[in-house]
Structures are given as C-alpha cells and as structure tokens.
Structure 1
Amino acid sequence: METLGQLAVRSAHAYPNKIAVKDDKRSFTYKEFLARANALAAFFHASGFRKGDRIGILMSNRLEHIELDVAVALTGLVKVPLNYRLHPKEHKYMIDDSQLSLLIGEKNLLDTVDKTVPFLYMNRDFEETISQFTGQSFVEKVDEDDLFAIMYTSGTTGNPKGVMLSHRNIIAGALSLSQVCEVDYNDIIGHVAPLTHGANFLSHVAWLFGLTQVVYNKFEPEEFLDVLVEDNISVLFLVPTMVNLMIQHPKFDASKLATVKSINMAGSPIAASKLQEALDKAGNIFVETYGQVEAPMCITMMPRNEIHEHLDSCGRIGVFVDVKIVDDEGNEVPYGEVGEIIAKGSLVMQGYWNNEKATNETLKDGWLHTGDLGKRDEFGYVYIVDRKKDVIISGGVNIYPREVEEVLNLHKGVKETCVIGIPDDKWGESVIAFVVPNGREEVTVDQLIVLCKENLASFKKPKEVFIVDELPKSSYGKILKREMKTQHEEVSK
C-alpha cells in the first residue's frame, strides 16, 4: 500500500489536463491542482513545520479542503479538520488538545476562536501564499503507517476524542468505497456533505482513478438536484437525513438523478421503511456502508444490487477488516444472537490522540470495540441492533430502541423518530418515543400506539409518544438522544 500523496501525484501526472476539482466559481486541472498543492507544501516547510506537526482546517465546504489534503500528505504533516458548525468552545478544545501549529480557514470562523496559534485566512492571504510559492515544492519521506489525520468524534458522551488515522487507514477506506460504489475512471464525485467528515473519505477515492470532484457549499434538496444534472455527478455521499429530505421533498423529481450511479448512505442508520421509499422513488442507486471515524466508512458494505433484498442489514464485512460479534466476556456469539461488533484490520485507527485510557478501553488486542450491538446471519449479513449505551432495560429485559423506531416509521405520515429510555420506579426504565410528522398524512398519538400494539410485544410499546416539530441533531446529522432525555426531564417536572 502507498501514501495519499503518491496517489494524488500519480493521478496528476496521468491526467494533467483533466479537471481535478471545481466549485460554483472555480475549476483547476490536475496540473494546476498539483502546482497549488506543491506550493502549499513548500510554504509549510519554509514556515518551519515538520513531519508530524498538526495543521487545523476550519472552513465550510470548499475545494481547498482537497488541495490541503495533498499538501499535508506530501509533507508528512497531520491535518485536523474542525467542523465549522460546532461552537467556538468546542473548536478551542480540539485546537488545544491537538496542539496545532497552524489554523487555516475562513475569517468569519477563525475570528470566533481565541488566537492561540497562527492563522492563515482563506481567499486573499491563502491565494497570496500560493502565488508566493508557485513553482516550488517539498516532499517528505512518508510511510503508509505515518499519521495523516486526527479526526474528532462527535463527543456525545463527553469531550470529543481525536481519532488517529494513518495513510494506510485512509487508503483502505478509499479502496473499500470504490468497490461498493462501483467507481470507474469515468465517474464524477460530488461533495455536499461536510468535507470535514464522511465526504472526505469519498474524496480520496478520486486519487485512485484520477476523477473530477465537485464541491457544493450547501444542501437545498430541490436546487441540489438541479446542479447534479448540470455537473453530471455520478457518485455521492449523503447521510440518511439528506436522503429523507430529498425524496420527501414535494417537488422531488427522480429524473434529475439520471446521471447518478451510486449514493453512499452512511453516518447513521436509516429505517427499513424509509429506505424502501427511497428505492421506490429514486431507483436502485443506493449503497450502504457501516463504520465509525475509528474505522472509516466500511466495516460492512451493502452494494446496490443487494440492498433491496436486505433493507434491515448494513451489508457484509468489508475487504480490509475482520469482524466478530461478541458477548460481554469477549466470546464470539452464534449466528442470530446479539452482541457487540468488534473489528480489526487495516481500516482500524491507530488510537486516540493524547488519550491512552480511551485507547486501551476501545482497542483491545488490536480489536476495535465499536459500542454497537448487532448480529450476523449464516449468509454473512450484519444487522445493527442499537448502540450498546442506548439499550433500554425494562423489567430486566433488553429493549432495543431501533426496533421500536422501525415500527413507528411504518406510518406513512412519519418523517423520523427517536426512542429513548427514561427512569421508571417500577420497571427500571420506560420506553418513550418522539415522532416528527412529514406533513403528507395526519399523525396522531392514538394511531402510533395502535401501530405499536400490532407489531411489538406488549413490554416494548412506548409508555408515552410525543409528536414534535423536530429532533435535536449533531452537526453531522445524528439524533442527540442525550438531549431528548434532558428535554423529557424538563417536560416531566
């Protein structure tokens, strides 16, 4: 296996006149793109930054994300992408924890952060830097096991943890994605999800094939479908929330997806009924992957030719990882039984930055303990049951929130759901459900209770159902169950 820098340089030499990256205002050929990345690499070296130093990136979706990936890869530096939707206090924690040498980004974002490190502002300063160093380059000796990125977790259970990903980890993920998304040399990759997270893993696929990448800075379902047609996009990464917004939009037009070969859905689970609706409306263009930042994207993979037959599965085990499903003692459980999903292989992180305790708790004998509960059938398909920490224990019996959510999502008037457990003096915990209507059909609490009675054992039925306008989500689109519990506590006082 090689390094990301080597892959990008090879593509640039093979396709010098092909468009490498573009947005709504600019485009650069591979020759121009590599020249800009080389200039950045020369600037980093001239500024005294050395292999292993951390470079922070704080900006909205821009093509500079992709240029900086190459510059960092060539110089052996380590990029630290910061999600621009987070609070400045969260940014400060990550900046301090990762001990950045430089922070690059948009002025309106950088100026909200305490200036404890040097800044390089986007646009004028950034472009002047490239102009100053154009024609120069610097390449460090980099190994595939050297660190490429520190990517912070969402921090839903405490401070975010910095996941250390090597060139090997990233390339293993890219090769896996290229397989499940059926990528070939004629594809054009579109990025509308944040390039600080899942979309960035798909970005690296382009360097395997010399593909064009198009960067979008906002997602408006109707407008986005129009630009997909204009830009001839064939491969995308979308979180399930985006897919739902797109297919449930009143003006959704499937013909505008004519150029799209595959949409990789990942980042959070999607209800089987919502997935079926997406397939019915948009066609057989969806693939599904399951992973974590700690094992990017492809612990399991579900190709588009199988997804319609396995709506409740996240696919079979990926090509660069071994997977086991184990009990609390670490013993592998039989097919069909629920246990924790653990993974090992080239896809799995090196550990958590500056956090030996968390690393030792999560990586045991090289096995990543995901914290996800799942099961596997005799054909190798994996099924995510729930997060281990989200399991509701009522009367001594385990209830998996996702099972209840799947039933609630059967109602055609439901947009999305969230099921949590709250303390109960008699049973230990009770099941509470929150439901967001989609506006297409009336949704009542009585209807939802009847639906649960028809499809669930009595002890699994929600004690209370609340119909709400929206669910709190992280900047990556994940529902924040911790906030739902807090909201319920306040309502119940």
Structure 2
Amino acid sequence: METLGQLALKSANAYPEKIAVKDENRTFTYQEFINRAKALSAYFRDAGFEKGARIGVLMSNRLEHIELDVAVALAGLVKVPLNYRLHPKEHEYMIKDAGLSLLMGDQVLIDATELDIRSLYIGDAYENTLNRFIGQEYIAEVDEDDLFAIMYTSGTTGNPKGVMLSHRNIISGAVSLAQVCEVNYDDIIGHVAPLTHGANFLSHVSWLYGLTQIIYSKFEPEEFLDSLSEDKVSVLFLVPTMVNLMIQHPNFDATKLATVKSINMAGSPIAASKLQEALDKAGEIFVETYGQVEAPMCITMMPRKEIKNRLESCGRIGIFVDVKIVDDEQNEVPHGEVGEIIAKGSLVMKGYWNNEKATNETLRDGWLYTGDLGWRDAQGFLYIVDRKKDVIISGGVNIYPREVEEVLNLHRGVKETCVIGVPDDKWGENVIAFVVPNGKEEVTSEQLIELCKENLASFKKPKEIFIVDELPKSSYGKILKREMKQQHVEVSK
C-alpha cells in the first residue's frame, strides 16, 4: 500500500493540466496544486519540523485543507484538524495535548485561543510563504504505517481523545469509499460538509483517480443545489441533516441533481421514513456508510442499488475490516441477536495519542470495541439499534453528555445534572438537560444557558433545561437516563 503523498504525486504526474481543486474564487490544475503542496512541504522542512511533528489546522472550509493534506504527507508530518465550531477553550486543550509545532488557519479562530503558539494565518501570510518556496520541495521517507493524522473525539467521560490514524488507515477508508460510491476517473467530488470531518475522508479518494475537487464554504440548500448543477458534481458527502434540509426545501428541484451519482450519508443515523422520503424525491443516489473516527467511515457499506431494500440497515461489512457482534463477555452472538459491534483490520486506528489507558480499553487483541450496539441478519447486513455510550448526535456531530454536565455543574446552585438526547426530525437529536438545585443559590434555565454559551460550542447547548427536585436512580445510585427520556416524552405531550 502507498502513502497519501505518493498517491497525490502520481495523480499530478498523470493529469498535470486537469483541474485538481477549486473554490468560489480560485482554481488550480494538478501541476499548480502539487507545486503549492511541495512548496509548503519545503517550508515545513526549512522551519525545522522533524518527521512526526504535529501541524494543527483550524479553519473553515477552504481549498487549503486539500493542499495541507498533501504537504503534511510529503513531509512526514502529522495533521491535527480542529473543528472550527468548537469553543476556543476546547481548542486550547487539544492544542496543548497534541503538542503542536505549528497552528495554521483563520486568524480570528487562532487568536481566539489566546495561546502563545507558532502560527501561520491563511491569507496573505500563507500565500507569501508559499511564494518564497515555490520551485522547492521536501519529500521525506514515509511508510504506510506512519502516522498521518490525530483527530480528536470525546468519550462520555474525561477529556477529548486524539485518534491516531496512519496512511494505511486513511487509504483503506478511501478505497472503501471509492467502492461504495462507485467512483471512476471522470467523477467530480464536491465538499460542503466540514473538511475537518467526514468530507476529508472522501477527499482522499481523489488521489486514487486524479479527480477534481470543489470546495463550498457554506451550505444553503437552494444555492447549493444550483452549484452542484453548475459544477457537474457527481460524488459528495452529506450528513443526514443536510439531506433533510435539501429535500424538504420548498424549492427543491431534483433535476439539479442530474449529474450526482452518489451521496454518501454518514455521521449519524437517519430515520427510515426520512430516508424513504429522500429516495422518493431524489432517486437512487444515496449510499450509507457506518464508521467512527477510530475506523474511518467504512466499517459497513450500503450501495445505492440496495439501500431501498433495507432502509434500517447500514450495510454489509467493509472490505478492510472484520466485524463481530459480541456480548458483555466478548462472546460472539448469533445472527439476529443484539451485542456490541467490534471491528479489526487495516481501517482500525493505531490507538489514542498520549492515552494508553483509553487505548487498552478500546483496542483489545486488535479489536476495536465501538461502544455501539447492533445485530446482523443472515445475509450479513448490519443494523445499529442503540449506542452503548450515551452519545448524542445532532446534525451529524457527536455531543457528549458529560461535557455539558460538567459545565452545568459549574453553577454553584446546582446539585446534580443529567443530559440526554431526544429525537428531532430536523437535527436527529436535541440536547435536553435536567438539573437539581442544591438550595444554596437561585438556579434558572437562563443562567444555565448563559453558562453553556461561555464554555461550550453553540451546537452543544441544551435545547431545553428542566429544573427538577430529583433524578431517578437505580439501587446503585446510577441515574436512569432511559427514565429521563420517558419523562421528557410525558412532559412534551
């Protein structure tokens, strides 16, 4: 198996005059693009960054994401993408934990962290740097098992964890996506979902075929459909929330999807009724994949010709993993029986950065314990029925209850809290909080919302906060979140 840098170089050599990447303002051929990526790799070398040094990326959707990927791969460095929607305090933890040598991105986002760290702002500073090194290159000796990225995720407890992904992991995911999306050499890939997440995994498919990539800075359903039609995009990644917003828009016009062959829906579950509506309105252009950052995108794959027959399934097992469904004693369960989904293979991460304890808990004998519950039918199709950990998925983004609970508990008048996710037609799930006061200070929902605003990204803030006298608990003192969800159903009637 090759490395990402080697694949990009091969594409550039094969298609020098073909458009490699474009956004609303700029277009680069493969020759121009690879020259820019090589110049950036030469800058990294000149700056003294040794193999394995971590380079942070903090910016909105821009074509620089694509050339950064290649430059980092060529120089043998490690990319650390940071979700620009997070709160600056959350960024600060990840920046410190990763031990970044350099942070690159939008100035307003970088400056908001208030950290003293070497930075390179996208814009004039970035372009001037590239111009200084155009015509130069640095290509390190890189192996397929070398680290390419550290992508931060969170557990339901503790701090975010950095998932270590090798070139082998990333390319395994790219080959899998290429298969399920039925990619060929004429495809044009569109990116509107954040390039710090699932869209970036689809980006790597381009180096397998020498494809053109088009980056969109924002998602507005009607404008986006116009752009897809104009740019003749054929393959893209969308979270289910985006799909719902698109097909339910009053001016939705399916003819504008005429060039679209496959839309990979991933990032969160989609209700069978919503999926059927999408198929009815847009046609057989949707594929589904199931994965985690720890096993990018393709633990399972559902092709577009099959999806209508199994609306509730996330597909068959991917080509670079083995999968088992096991009980709490790690015994494999029969088809049709629910258990935890575990996976092993080239797709599975190397471990968690600087976190041996979490690595040992999640990777056991090479098997990734996903924390997701599911079952498999006799034909090998996987069905996810619940999450073992109480992760809330809203708009395709994971929200971890413990993170929100920790912030709510900062209020001196709070005794204890419980945060749950409840179904929502638009976002998938909404964040709901229950708070028990301690009687020391007045506690209001408005105060708690403001507290969340000061410490969390806006999408993590509770949609509703209920002040209650007590929380239901088991005989062991554990809060019964299932009962809390039922209570919310009763209150909402």
1:138 counterpart = 2:116: no
Aligned to 1:346: 346
Aligned to 2:113: 113
1:250, CA displacement in angstroms? 1.2
> Does the aligned pair in 1 maintain the 2:92–2:115 contact within 8 Å?
no
1:152 counterpart = 2:167: no
1:103 counterpart = 2:81: no
TM alignment of 1:310-321, pairs within 5 A: 310-321=310-321
Q: What secondary structure sits across from 1:233 in the alignment?
A: coil
1:140, CA displacement in angstroms? 0.3
Aligned to 1:66: 66
Query: Which of 462, 465, 469 in structure 2 is aligned with 1:487?
Result: 465
> CA-atom RMSD, angstroms?
2.6
- The aligned amino acid for 2:309 is E
Q: What secondary structure sits across from 2:389 in the alignment?
A: helix
Aligned to 1:465: none
Alignment partners' CA distance in 1, 2:470 and 2:29 = 59
Q: 1:378 to 1:151 in 2, by over 3 A?
A: same
Deviation track 1:267-286 (CA, whole Å, cap 9, x = no partner) reads 00001110000000010000
Alignment partners' CA distance in 2, 1:88 and 1:478 = 12
- The aligned amino acid for 1:74 is L
1:111, CA displacement in angstroms? 1.0
TM alignment of 1:181-330, pairs within 5 A: 181-330=181-330
1:115, CA displacement in angstroms? 2.9
Alignment partners' CA distance in 1, 2:259 and 2:389 = 41
Deviation track 1:321-379 (CA, whole Å, cap 9, x = no partner) reads 00000000000000100000000000000000000010000000000000000000110
1:125 counterpart = 2:125: yes
1:113, CA displacement in angstroms? 1.3
> Does the aligned pair in 1 maintain the 2:42–2:136 contact within 8 Å?
yes
How many positions carry a matched residue from both structures?
422
- The aligned amino acid for 1:324 is K
- The aligned amino acid for 2:346 is S
Q: Which ranges of structure 2 fall in alignment gaps of 5 or more residues?
A: 394-398, 402-417, 427-451, 472-493
Alignment partners' CA distance in 1, 2:157 and 2:223 = 36
Alignment partners' CA distance in 1, 2:257 and 2:54 = 39
- The aligned amino acid for 1:213 is Q
1:157, CA displacement in angstroms? 3.9
> Does the aligned pair in 1 maintain the 2:156–2:389 contact within 8 Å?
no
TM normalised by structure 1 equals: 0.82
> Does the aligned pair in 2 maintain the 1:267–1:478 contact within 8 Å?
no
- The aligned amino acid for 2:357 is K
1:48 counterpart = 2:48: yes
Q: Which ranges of structure 1 fall in alignment gaps of 5 or more residues?
A: 392-400, 403-417, 421-429, 439-471
Identity across aligned pairs (percent)?
73
TM normalised by structure 2 equals: 0.82
1:116, CA displacement in angstroms? 2.5
Q: 1:478 to 1:318 in 2, by over 3 A?
A: farther
- The aligned amino acid for 2:287 is V
> Does the aligned pair in 2 maintain the 1:325–1:340 contact within 8 Å?
yes
Deviation track 1:107-134 (CA, whole Å, cap 9, x = no partner) reads 1111101233201011100000000000
1:357 counterpart = 2:367: no
Alignment partners' CA distance in 1, 2:180 and 2:60 = 27
Deviation track 1:217-243 (CA, whole Å, cap 9, x = no partner) reads 100011100000111100000001111
- The aligned amino acid for 1:307 is I
Q: What secondary structure sits across from 2:465 in the alignment?
A: helix
Aligned to 1:57: 57
1:389, CA displacement in angstroms? 2.5
- The aligned amino acid for 2:205 is V
Alignment partners' CA distance in 2, 1:15 and 1:492 = 65
Aligned to 2:439: none
Moved over 3 A (4+): 154-158, 432-438, 477-480, 488-493
> Does the aligned pair in 2 maintain the 1:62–1:217 contact within 8 Å?
yes
